[in-house]
């Protein structure tokens, strides 16, 4: 008898499939970053007349690959973008893929002493975009996101707010997050964040040893108990006490700056 077919298994490090067929990248900084980092994703380009002299190179590249580009009015561009917040230029692109967490790859990041920012349940795409923008500014290359049902992924809103930052940050999703954290701890010291219940951030980051993977939760509930339990340490940003907390993107900016400093 013939053997039954062997089901195809996707390797654990294979990238996740695209979320949609295309996405809209709006605003000159984001479009410029797309063409600088991954121009092959650009499928169509639309722009207002005021940018005509600045984007000749983009148009030449589109023409070389026989892809359409066109100057349009602001009103038509708003229809194409689906929003008036288009910044005068829109690229229709293939989606940026979200990778899948691989502990073996994480071990290589750790060897290079690369700090890691992790988000668990940060659902606002504007916050995701702002965090990616800060990461790119300070040179952090990878953002690990959990499989929390509310966790935001790269989206048109996130790309717009990131001002090009998402092109330079690799976004990686960790399935079965608690188990993934256990594997991550082989290479990283996993540090959670919490209001008032952890040790001061500077004290936590001053400890020698493995590079740090810092986890942020959402603004309403913070990190889930299972995530906190999986952490090696818990850090808190000391404040004046006049307000309870910071916006998650502002908190992330402080953490990213400190992680970047400690890498040097």
The proportion of the chain whose per-residue pLDDT surpasses 90, expressed as a percent, equals 80
Q: What is the dihedral of CA 72, 75, 77, 83, to 10 degrees?
A: 170
Tokens in use for 149? Answer: 């049902």
172 assigned to some structural domain: yes
What pLDDT sits at residue 5? 45
Structural domains in the chain (count)? 2
- Say whether both 62 and 138 belong to one domain: no
What pLDDT sits at residue 17? 43
Region of poorest pLDDT, from 43-52, 132-141, 222-231: 222-231
Supply φ then ψ for residue 26, to 5 degrees: -115, 145
The proportion of the chain whose per-residue pLDDT surpasses 70, expressed as a percent, equals 92
40 assigned to some structural domain: yes
- pLDDT tens, position by position, 6-43: 444 444 444 444 445 899 999 999 999 999 999 999 99
- Average pLDDT over the chain, rounded to an integer: 90
Tokens in use for 52? Answer: 């005509």
Q: What is the dihedral of CA 192, 259, 208, 100, to 10 degrees?
A: 60
Cβ count near 197 (within 10 Å): 12
- pLDDT tens, position by position, 96-113: 999 999 999 999 999 999
**Distance between CA atoms of residues 70 and 15, nearest Å:** 32
What pLDDT sits at residue 195? 82
Asked whether the beta carbons of 138 and 165 are under 8 A apart, the reply is no
Binning pLDDT at 50, 70 and 90, where does residue 196 land?
Answer: confident
15 assigned to some structural domain: no
- Say whether both 224 and 114 belong to one domain: yes
**Distance between CA atoms of residues 116 and 188, nearest Å:** 9
Per-residue CA distances from 263 to 81, 91, 110, 213, 215 (Å): 39, 35, 11, 12, 17
CATH number, domain at 111?
3.40.1280.10
What pLDDT sits at residue 198? 82
**Distance between CA atoms of residues 255 and 231, nearest Å:** 16
CATH number, domain at 69?
3.30.1330.30
- Given a cut of 70, whether residue 234 has pLDDT beyond it is yes
Range of the domain at 89: 23-93
- Say whether both 123 and 196 belong to one domain: yes
pTM of the model: 0.87
Q: Can you name the residues that pair with 46 across neighbouring β-strands?
A: 70, 90
Tokens in use for 20? Answer: 């949609």
């Amino acid at each position: 008898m013939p053997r039954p077919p062997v089901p195809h298994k996707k390797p654990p490090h294979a990238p996740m499939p695209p979320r949609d067929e295309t996405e809209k990248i709006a605003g000159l900084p984001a479009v410029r970053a797309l063409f600088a980092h991954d121009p092959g994703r650009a499928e169509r380009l639309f722009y207002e007349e005021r940018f005509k002299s600045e984007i000749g190179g983009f148009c030449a590249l589109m023409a070389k690959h026989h892809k359409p580009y066109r100057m349009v009015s602001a009103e038509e561009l708003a229809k194409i973008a689906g929003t008036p917040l288009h910044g005068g230029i829109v690229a229709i692109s293939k989606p940026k893929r979200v990778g899948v967490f691989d502990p073996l790859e994480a071990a290589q990041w750790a060897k290079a002493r690369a700090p890691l920012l992790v988000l668990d349940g940060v659902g606002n795409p504007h916050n995701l975009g702002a965090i990616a923008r800060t990461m790119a500014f300070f040179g952090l290359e990878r953002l690990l996101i959990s499989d929390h049902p509310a966790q935001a992924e790269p989206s048109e809103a996130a790309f717009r707010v990131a001002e090009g930052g998402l092109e330079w940050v690799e976004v990686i999703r960790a399935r079965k997050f608690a188990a993934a954290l256990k594997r991550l701890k082989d290479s990283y010291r996993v540090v959670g964040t919490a209001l008032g219940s952890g040790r001061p951030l500077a004290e936590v980051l001053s400890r020698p040893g493995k590079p740090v993977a810092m986890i942020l939760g959402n603004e309403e509930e913070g990190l889930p108990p299972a995530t906190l339990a999986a952490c090696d340490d818990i850090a808190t940003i000391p404040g004046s006490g006049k307000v309870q907390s910071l916006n998650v993107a502002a908190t992330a900016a402080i953490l990213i700056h400190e992680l970047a400093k400690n890498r040097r």
